[in-house]
Structures are given as C-alpha cells and as structure tokens.
Amino acid sequence: MDQTRIESLVREVLSKEFPGSSTKQRIYQSGNRLNFSCPYCGDSNDARKKRGNFYIDTQAYKCYNGGCGVFKSSLSFFNDFGVYGKLKRDEVSEIKKILEDNRDKRRPVLGTADISMFFEEDINKYIIPRSQFMEKMGLKEIEGQSIERYLKKRYQNIDSRFAWDPKKEKLFLFNLTKDDKIIGLQLRNMNSIKGSSKYLTYKLSGIWEKLLYCKDKEFLDGCKKIDPISSVFNVATLDFGQDITIFEGPMDSWLWKNSVALCSVENRFPFDVDNVRFWYDWDKAGLNKSIELLTSGFSVFNWGKFLGDHAITKNRKWDLNDLVIHLRKTGKKIKRFENYFTNDVLDLGYFIDT
C-alpha cells in the first residue's frame, strides 16, 4: 500500500473531522511517517507540532499530545473515522500482514525504536513493580536515611524515583512508569572504594539478569525489546507534543520540565522527532558532543555564552544540578535559561574558545 494511497485516506479523515480548518487538514511528511493534527483530540492548531503521527512502515497511528496518547493500528484508525470501507480487500490483507510481522519482529535499534513496544499491554509482564524490587533488594525509602541530606542539598525532590541501600551505600535512581514500575535504573556508589565505578546504568534486561538473577532466556529476550527506552529516564511521562530537553544525568533532568536523561553523551534518543534540544554538561565530552550536534543543525544549550554573561567561571565542570546549587548559594540573578539554546553554527566559538 503506497504512501499516496494512505495519504489520500488520511486526508479524507481530516477533511471530515476538521471541515472548517485548512490548517488542521494539512499533512506533513517526515521520513516514514505522516504528521498532522490529531483527529481524536483535535490538537493542535499548528499541524507542525506533530501530535498526530501515522507510521507508514508499521501501519500504526500514535498521538503524542500528553492529554490524548491514542495508539492504534491503521485499520482501527480508518475504522474509527469511517473510511475503513474504502479499503480494498487486498489492501486490508497487506496491512494485516504488516501488523502481524511487526508483532513478531521489533526494531530495537537506537534512532528507529518501534514505539508500539512501549504502549502495548504486554509490557507489564516485563517491567518491575517498585515495591517488589525494593523488597527483593533490601532497599530503604530515602526519608530518615543518611542519604536524605545529600539529595536535599542538591535540591532534589525526595520521592519514589530514589531508593537507598544502607549496607552497600548505594543510591538507586529509577526510571519509572506513571504507576511506579521500573523500566531501567542507575546506581550511584556513595562510598569511596578504590576501583569501584561511580555510576552503573542498567537497562531492563540487565536488571532482571544481573540484579534479580533471572535465567529465563525467552523472558530476557522479551525484556530486550524494551531496552532501547529503558535507559531514557522520564520517557514514560514525556509530552511528545512539547519541546523535549535532553540531558546526560537523571538528576539534571528531574530539575527541568519535559526532559529526559540518556545517561551518556554516546546514547541516542530513540524516537524520531524534531522537537528535541540538548543540554549536555560543560566538560570535554559534553563540549565535543554539543559541537557535533550544533554543526548537524540541532539546538544545544550555549554554556559558553551563559557563563560569560553571568561572570561564572568556565574553568570547571558544570551540569544543571551543580549550576542550580551555585546560583542558590550565591543568590546570583540570571536571565532566562530558555534564551541560551542555539542552533546557529556561528555560535561555535562559544564552545571552542574555552
């Protein structure tokens, strides 16, 4: 079923649902998908916001508006808006085959993650209830523990995203779903044992295999389908219709609205959307990655200009959490952070001349 045919059916849906709005009837093509205003929730007035997404190769429809979140097969989508009857018998057969193939063959490749694996109900048999994991690992809630003071000094909210292992002095940072189930985690060693790694990040399959000692290969293979999103902290609470800010560390991302943390500058955001921007650390790795992203047309946080404008030293490592601590300690007044994101290659000098 070619794209022209699909686009004509989608256009018919939009003309029926938005008869008085040429803007909402507009369709944009981006790679393997069609972007348009969602006919379920009516969002948005600006079709370029990409709330409604029809994925041609997987025959799936997904709305990224936080208040909607509809996820359906193309057959359900066409049926809901009265155009299913326009499909020919061979077209229905072709779509059913695509849907069948994609149930059995996922694409766990960074940059092209199949979003359907995140929204299907059977994900629940793989993700881990936080309470169950806490009991199994002998973890404690943060309140009343020695680690509480450390987190409060970093202006972190003391909530279910954290847990504490008092015996091994390890801080657990959880990547949670909205109902407090774990899809990934990061460990921070708070002791100073020589040779121990400061941070350890576990994807879902790694949690089951290395921390919970699961040996079921078939089960672990199912977990690996979710691995591309399990180290993307906050992915379960994102509003894909708004700007998404990408950080390295989870604690940075927990200080900024609608953001994610990838745990490393080498990790890629696994969803193919255009409304992302990057706020990596002010250190060698973060600088080099920001330069690479800026020259590729992405928007990045201009640390060099921000630090210069506010007379803050450039001769140390900075991340958002450290910056917040510094600003609150000194009482320094600053301009809006939003003003310091740039996609202008002429701003490369701020990253190179450090």
CA–CA distance, 84 with 241 (Å, rounded to integer): 27
Lowest mean pLDDT among 111-115, 137-141, 233-237, 322-326: 111-115
Of the chain, the percentage scoring pLDDT greater than 70 comes to 88
**Residues 184 and 212 grouped into a single domain:** yes
Split into its structural domains, the chain has a count of 3
- Assign 98 a pLDDT band (cuts: 50, 70, 90): confident
CA–CA distance, 320 with 314 (Å, rounded to integer): 14
Per-residue pLDDT at 238 exceeds 90: no
- Assign 244 a pLDDT band (cuts: 50, 70, 90): very high
Per-residue pLDDT at 45 exceeds 80: no
Residue 76 lies in a domain: yes
- Assign 44 a pLDDT band (cuts: 50, 70, 90): low
Per-residue pLDDT at 108 exceeds 50: no
**Residues 60 and 155 grouped into a single domain:** no
pLDDT for 131-187, tens place per residue? 999 999 999 999 999 999 999 999 999 999 999 999 999 999 999 988 899 999 999
Averaged over 237-254, what is the pLDDT? Answer: 91
CA–CA distance, 203 with 186 (Å, rounded to integer): 9
Looking at residue 50, its pLDDT comes to 64
**Residues 8 and 93 grouped into a single domain:** yes
Residue 235 lies in a domain: no
Looking at residue 101, its pLDDT comes to 77
Residue 116 lies in a domain: no
Residue 30 lies in a domain: yes
Looking at residue 161, its pLDDT comes to 97
- Assign 47 a pLDDT band (cuts: 50, 70, 90): very low
Looking at residue 146, its pLDDT comes to 94
**Residues 224 and 279 grouped into a single domain:** no
Lowest mean pLDDT among 59-63, 213-217, 218-222, 321-325: 59-63
**Residues 210 and 262 grouped into a single domain:** no
Residue 60 lies in a domain: yes
Residue 271 lies in a domain: yes
Per-residue pLDDT at 288 exceeds 90: yes
What per-residue string of b and e applies to 261-281 under the rule 16 or more CB within 10 Å gives b?
bbbebebbbbbebeebbbbbb
* pTM assigned to the model: 0.68
Last residue of a domain, one of 199, 230, 261: 230
**Residues 9 and 74 grouped into a single domain:** yes
Looking at residue 124, its pLDDT comes to 81
- Assign 199 a pLDDT band (cuts: 50, 70, 90): confident
Per-residue pLDDT at 51 exceeds 60: yes
**Residues 202 and 261 grouped into a single domain:** no
For the beta carbon of residue 66, count every other beta carbon within 10 angstroms: 16
Residue 120 lies in a domain: no
CATH number, position 329: 3.40.1360
Looking at residue 125, its pLDDT comes to 86
**Residues 249 and 346 grouped into a single domain:** yes
**Residues 289 and 336 grouped into a single domain:** yes
- Assign 112 a pLDDT band (cuts: 50, 70, 90): very low
**Residues 214 and 264 grouped into a single domain:** no
Per-residue pLDDT at 261 exceeds 90: yes
**Residues 49 and 141 grouped into a single domain:** no
Bigger pLDDT: 250 vs 125: 250
Residue 274 lies in a domain: yes
**Residues 156 and 61 grouped into a single domain:** no
Averaged over 317-342, what is the pLDDT? Answer: 94
Residue span of the structural domain in which 15 resides? 3-105
CA–CA distance, 53 with 304 (Å, rounded to integer): 36
Last residue of a domain, one of 60, 77, 105: 105
**Start-end of H helices in the chain:** 3-17, 74-80, 89-104, 116-119, 130-137, 147-153, 204-206, 217-224, 227-230, 250-253, 284-295, 303-309, 320-330, 349-352
CATH number, position 23: 3.90.580
Last residue of a domain, one of 46, 77, 105: 105
CA–CA distance, 278 with 220 (Å, rounded to integer): 32
Output the six-digit token pair for 271: 């969803």
Lowest mean pLDDT among 95-99, 179-183, 200-204: 95-99
Q: For 133, list phi and psi in degrees, rounded to 5.
A: -65, -40
Averaged over 109-126, what is the pLDDT? Answer: 55
Per-residue pLDDT at 118 exceeds 60: no
